Structures are given as structure tokens and as C-alpha cells.
Amino acid sequence: MKMRTILSGLLVTILATALFGCSVMSGSRSADTYASDAATTAKVKANLARNDMVPATQVTVNTDKGIVQLSGFVRTKAQADEAEKVALNTEGVKSVKNDLVTYKEAHGKSLKDRTARKLTYSNN
């Protein structure tokens, strides 16, 4: 009985390991690639945080096979361009997809215009 329980447990463990291994590979990212992408993401975030021009807390960084995607909101196009430049100059980055959006692009008006309009409405 003990031997049967041990063999059953061993079989379940082998099957679970095989299924997990296949699921990692079916996503076309190996564990090494995932770890490398995670390290690249961390390097890009650290470099963005060191740059005074880029609001690093507003920028999301994702990496897939060395391709970095930047997303989030920034105040100006210059900040978006600077974030892209910083990412491109980071070790491990093959290319950058810059999906950063300025507040003006997102809302049709600048943040200053929106704030002024709200203050005007609240004073009437």
C-alpha cells in the first residue's frame, strides 16, 4: 500500500512537471528568456528613475524577447522621447515600442487647461 501511494505521488509529480514545462515553452518564452526580460525591465526602470526629465513613476515598462514597450502618461512629447532614448540606451534592449501618451493627447487639452476650466466652473 505504501509503495502504491509513493508511486502515485511520483507519477503525479512527473506529470505536473511535464505539463508545466510544456506550458512555459508553448508561450514561446523559455525560463532563460523570461529571466533576461525581467532583468532588462529592471534596468530600464532604474535608468528612467535616474533621469530627472522622465516621470518614471508614470511609465510602465514591459519587455518581451528584448523588445521594450513603454506605456503610461507623460506631460510632454519631449518626456516621451527622452524615455524612449533612455530605454534604447539600456543594455539588453533590442528595440523600443513607445506607447507613452501625453495628457493633452489623452484628454484633448493640456492638464493646465483642464485645471483652469475646473476652477472657473467651481467659482461660478
Going from the N-terminus, what domains does the chain have, and what CATH number goes with each? Answer: 28-123 (3.30.70)
Q: How many angstroms separate the Cα of 14 from the Cα of each of 8, 37, 103? A: 10, 28, 52
With vertex at residue 38, the alpha carbon angle to CA 33 and CA 44, rounded to the nearest 5 degrees, is 125
Reported pTM: 0.64
Q: Tens digits of per-residue pLDDT, 42-100?
A: 999 999 999 999 999 999 999 999 999 999 999 999 999 999 999 999 999 999 999 99
